[in-house]
Amino acid sequence: MWTICRKELADHFSSIRFLILFCLILMVALVSTYMAATNIKEALEGMSKPSHVFLLLFTTPGKFFSLVQFIAFFGPLLGIIMGFDAINRERHHRTLGKLVSQPIYRDAVINGKFMAGVITVSITLISLMLLLTGMGLFTVGVVPGWEEVGRLAVYLVVSIAYVSFWLGLSILFSILFRSLATSALAAVALWIFFSFFMGFAADLAADALKPVKNPQDPEEIVENRRAADAVSLASPAVLYSRATSTILDPFRRTRSNLVLTGPMERLSLERFQNPLPLDQSILVVWPHLTLLAALTLVCFGVSYTVFMRQEIRTI
């Protein structure tokens, strides 16, 4: 398995499409973080005792979007370009038959490819984060506290899991579809749907399930919103963005939107303005994190079984 993993890693890092995407992400990340940093610096002048400044570097939008939003959008693409041709490229070049007639277990092929993808994603995201942290230290001049470092670390782990979900999904498509274009398009289509259209879809579903007959009736509106919320949780993109925004923002202590908070919850939100400690933030989004991990595992599990049960002739 490690042999295949090693070769795939070498392939990833020398492939042009990975380099292009990496440069693109790096460039955008540097620019947006730099803009955020200068904004923060201006805002900080005159404040006596700011807290959790360092996290703001990643979560405040510069001119267009914050780094976290950007990764939420583009992370999946990273997973997709590494996975969409994992198996069918080997089929295409007629190397899969040769590979499985070597003295290795068949699952070593797919495990090795998945591992290589996860390692590449980890290296990419971690190095990106470190670069930006370094730049942030220079421009803002604020040293992050341990808790902020902890939050960033948790954010990194969740992001890697999220990109791995897309990697697993695109590997599944590369097993199911013979043609490279079909599997790439299927993965990208799903990505676009989940990241951009899930909101509309959730609204539609909510209107169908719990229609708002009387716009004046707050009960009905809350019911409607609650349904939309539940439906949108089916999208890993929504799960991910909610989880990470809570983790990176210590002042945020609920994962639902404001309409849905009960009176007591709202009261407590207004009363206590102190930041949550890291473990409490994690507790708030724990269901999201488990769901995300489960989705990733299910995705890889399905690809694994499909690949193992496939008749070798068709390989």
Partner 1 sequence: MGAVIQTENLTRRYGRQVAVDGLTIEINEGEIFGFLGPNGAGKTTTILMLLGLTEPTSGWARVLGVDPARDPLQIKRQVGYLPENVGFYDDMTGRENLRFMARLNRLPEDKAGAKIEEALAAVGLNGEGDKLVGAYSRGMRQRLGIAELLIKDPKLLILDEPTLGLDPDGTVKMLDLIKSLSSGRRITVMLCSHQLEQVQRICTRVGIMIKGKLVALGTIEELAQRKLGSATGQNLEEIYMRYFKET
For position 313 contacting partner 1 by CB under 8 A, the verdict is yes
3-state secondary structure of 244: helix
Nearest residue (CB) to partner 1, 89 versus 210: 89
Only one of the segments 1-9, 68-76, 160-168, 296-304 lies at the binding site for partner 1 (rule: CB under 8 A); that segment is 1-9
Going through the chain in order, the beta strands assigned E by DSSP cover none
Binding positions for partner 1, 112-141, rule CB under 8 A: none
Q: Closer CB to partner 1, residue 4 or residue 71? A: 4
**Smallest separation (angstroms) from partner 1 to the CB of 220:** 55
Residue from 7, 17, 178, 266 that binds partner 1 (CB under 8 A)?
Answer: 7
Instruction: Give the residue from 137, 139, 146, 86 showing the smallest Cα distance to 279.
Output: 146
Residue 246 tokens read as 């809570």
If one asks whether residue 104 binds partner 1 (CB under 8 A), the answer comes out as: yes
102 is a site residue for partner 1 (CB under 8 A): yes
Minimum distance of partner 1 from residue 313's CB (angstroms):
7
* Contact yes or no for 46/149 (Cβ under 8 A): no
Pick from 133, 112, 130: which is nearest to 122 by CA?
Answer: 130
Structure tokens at 154: 């948790």
The answer to whether residue 105 forms part of the interface with partner 1 (CB under 8 A) is yes
Start-to-end CA span in the chain (Å): 19
d(CA 186, CA 173): 7
- Please, which of residues 72-101 interact with partner 1 by CB under 8 A? 93-95, 97-101
The residue ranges that bind partner 1 (CB under 8 A) are 3-4, 6-7, 11, 93-95, 97-105, 311-313
